[in-house]
Amino acid sequence: AQSVTQPDIHITVSEGASLELRCNYSYGATPYLFWYVQSPGQGLQLLLKYFSGDTLVQGIKGFEAEFKRSQSSFNLRKPSVHWSDAAEYFCAVGARDDKIIFGKGTRLHILP
């Protein structure tokens, strides 16, 4: 069965610094991978997704993620964070015609 692990429960970075959030997945075939963001008390918004093709995926709000099959990873990056990026980030993995499995989330804190 597929699974997804986000090793960091909390991450704190200074405003303007670069960001990388880690995501590792377990799945036998090529997975479908997603990153969502959730502001406090709100629903989830899709940042980006990977289905196939180019392993570097561009998303909204200046985020990108890179699929590395050899490392079973799909890490999320942003070159310079803004205070408005403070939120909880969820990585998710799914298989064709199956449910999506969400990680437990990483809460991002931004220092002024």
Q: Which residues bind another protein (CB under 8 A)?
A: 9, 32, 34, 36, 41-46, 49, 51, 90, 94-100, 102-105
The CA-based angle 62-22-80, given to 5 degrees, is 30
Closest approach of another protein to the CB of residue 36, in Å? 8
Closer residue to another protein in complex, CB, 36/63: 36
Closest approach of another protein to the CB of residue 66, in Å? 19
Distance, CA of 107 to CA of 12 (rounded, Å): 8
Closer residue to another protein in complex, CB, 99/112: 99
Closest approach of another protein to the CB of residue 35, in Å? 11
Closest approach of another protein to the CB of residue 108, in Å? 15
The dihedral over CA atoms of 77, 81, 82, 85, expressed in degrees to the nearest 10, equals 40
Closer residue to another protein in complex, CB, 39/55: 39
CB within 8 A of 84, min separation 6: which ones? none
Distance, CA of 9 to CA of 94 (rounded, Å): 21
Closer residue to another protein in complex, CB, 63/90: 90
- How do strand 87-94 and strand 106-111 relate by DSSP bridges? antiparallel
